[in-house]
Structure 1
Amino acid sequence: MPTFDSEEAARHHRDLHSHLPSDPALRVKTLESLAVERGLVAPESVDAWVEAYSEHVGPKRGAQVVARAWVDPAFRARLLENAAEAIKDFGFQGGATGHLKAVENTGDQHNIVVCTLCSCYPFAILGMSPAWYKSAEYRARTVREPRAVLREFGVDLPENVGVRVWDSTAELRYLVIPQRPAGTEGWSEEALAAIVTRNSMIGTERDLKTEAA
Structure 2
Amino acid sequence: MLKQKDLIPDGYIEHMTQLMAHEWSPENGARVVAKAWVDPQFRELLLRDGTAACAQFGYTGPQGEYIVALEDTPTLKNVIVCSLCSCTNWPVLGLPPEWYKGFEFRARLVREGRTVLRELGTQLPDDVTIKVWDTSAESRYLVLPVRPQGSESMDEEALRKLITKDVLIGVALPHVA
- State the TM-score bracket (shorter-chain normalisation): 0.7 to 0.9
**Structure whose residues are more often helix by fraction:** 1
1:167 aligns with 2:138: no
Report the alpha carbon displacement of residue 122 of structure 1 after superposing the two structures with TM: 0.5
Structure 2: distance between partners of 1:146 and 1:186: 33
Partner of 1:12: none
Q: Deviations over 1:168-200 (max 9, x none)?
A: 012211000111111212322111111111101
Cα distance in 1 for partners of 2:140, 2:23 equals 20
State the secondary structure of the residue aligned to 1:137.
helix
Q: What's the TM-score once normalised by structure 2's chain length?
A: 0.87
Within-5 A mapping of 1:52-201: 53-201=20-168
Q: Are residues 107 and 194 of structure 1, via their aligned partners in 2, closer, same or farther at CA, if it must alter by over 3 Å?
A: same
Aligned AA (2:105): Y
> How many residues were matched structurally?
167
Unaligned runs of 5+ in 2: 1-9
Counterpart-to-counterpart distance in 2, 1:78 and 1:205: 24
- Provide Cα deviations, 1:61-101, integer angstroms capped at 9, x if missing partner: 00000000000011111111110111111111223121110
Q: Higher Cα Rg: structure 1 or 2?
A: 1
Q: Distance in 1 between matches of 2:145 and 2:20?
A: 23
SS of 2:60 mapped into structure 1: coil
**Residue type of the partner of 1:159?**
D
Which residue of the partner structure matches residue 29 of structure 1?
none
CA offsets 1:89-127 (integer angstroms, 9 cap, x no match): 111122312111000111111011100111121011111
Q: Partner of 1:101: helix, strand, or coil? A: strand
- Give the deviation of 1:210 after TM superposition: 2.1
CA contact (8 A) 2:62 2:90 kept: no
- Give unpaired runs (5+ residues) of structure 1: 1-39
Per the alignment, in what secondary structure is the counterpart of residue 166 of structure 1? strand
- What residue number does 2:3 align with? none
| Distance in 1 separating the partners of 2:126 and 2:150 | 25
